[in-house]
Amino acid sequence: MKIFHVGKRILAHELISGSLYLFLGAVVSSFLAFLLNLFLARNLVPSDYGIFASLISLIILITIPALSINTIIVRFATDYFSKGEMGKGAKLYKETLKILSFFSLLIFGIFVLLSFPIMSFLHIDNIWYVILAGLIIALSYITVINTAFLQSLLKFNFLSFVNVASALIRLLSGVFLIILGFRVFGGLFAIISMSIVSFVLAFIPLRFVLREKGGTTSISGKEIFSYAIPTTVAIFFLTSFTSMDVILVKHFFNSSDAGLYGGLSLIGKVIYYFTGPITMVMFPLLIKRHTRGENFNNLFYLAFMLLTLSSFALTIFYYMFPKFVINFFLGGGEYLSAVPYLGFFAIFITVFNMLTILVSFFLSIKKTKVYSAVVMGAILQTILIFLFHKSFFQIIGVSLLASGLVLIILLIYYVKLFVNIKNIGEIISIINNPQG
């Protein structure tokens, strides 16, 4: 009975329950994504998969501002909704949608103009691959707003449903198009379909924002921009840690090796996606507590502990059963050549995970100056890869070194700001009282 009572208390914690909703949705959507990636890996030759992986990394890199926009929207929308200022929340939605729609068209146009240089750098022989990647980027900037508002309203269960439904559409459309012989086009069109479905479904519980009258409600543009600029910079360079390596491998290595590294990166990022719900749920909850002047450190301790333990557990599994993991995710074959690198790459992703949740913590409480450490680390990674790229071990080692240095710097900063004897007691107490 005592174990049942403790388990019930743990599940009742808003971080645990919210993470559980997103985790279950992430498991299902990740499984659907895995099925598509497995299908792509087995039905595309390594050179085609290398093209697809490099385009995905480029898309991720260029849509990093979309991730920062999500963070910015969540930061202020959660603040407004926590105070019951629904008019401000609705006005933020409408104004942001207008800006993002214009920005999406602008960035698509710029991307089309730069198609040929991108083709040359990535050694791609079809301009339409690049143009479709640009369309995906444009859609990403529009779809982010609905996801951000669902997160702000703490509607994690519906957000989980949207993720699963859109992933299902991506799988079905991708498999269908690949069977028809569209190769790389099939994977790209699948992402486009997913983006459209995601936006439409996510809007269903947000219809109230169109009915809500903002009236003369004013939003502090200065406050938003002063937060947005360093946040955008921080997230851009943070995300580049797991994108720039794939892009530079495509540049320095042949297509076959680039495909192998792309598969290695995909498997490694499973650790990131597996633990991602913890950070995603933690962020608005921290904002809510910070806005109301409540204790937020113990929530961060719990989130950091859950993420770190989960990441290390998966890393150990990767080290013990690398062949099984590669066979499971990529179907073996030529990808088994990546077996020696899998455990090492998992360590890098684990460190990156810890860095990500720490940066999210600081951004949630408006400590945006941490962007400078992230920028320096990302630039260091890029410079070192340009200098040392003889093997995958060098690439991964450089990434681990750069992200590890930033993690150490931010941990020291955190200790300086928050850790004392009382805080250490809180860290211990949350094990027995997770609802604190």
| pLDDT per position as a tens digit, 376-421 | 999 999 999 999 989 999 999 999 999 999 999 999 999 998 876 5
Q: Is the pLDDT of residue 291 over 70?
A: yes
Query: Closest Cα partner for 159 from 266, 296, 20?
Result: 20
**Rounded Cα gap, residues 12 and 183, in angstroms:** 46
Task: Output the pLDDT for position 6.
Answer: 46
Write b or e for each residue in 94-126: b if 16 or more Cβ atoms lie within 10 A of its Cβ, otherwise e. eebeeebeebbeebbeebeeebeebeeebebee
Residues 156-204 have pLDDT tens digits of 788 889 989 999 999 999 889 888 888 888 889 999 999 999 999 988 8
- Model-wide pTM > 0.85: no
Per-residue pLDDT tens for 80-123? Answer: 888 877 888 888 888 888 889 999 999 899 888 988 888 888 88
Whose CA is closest to 208, among 83, 93, 288, 101?
A: 93
Q: What does the alpha-carbon distance between residue 406 and residue 393 come to, in Å, rounded to a whole number?
A: 20
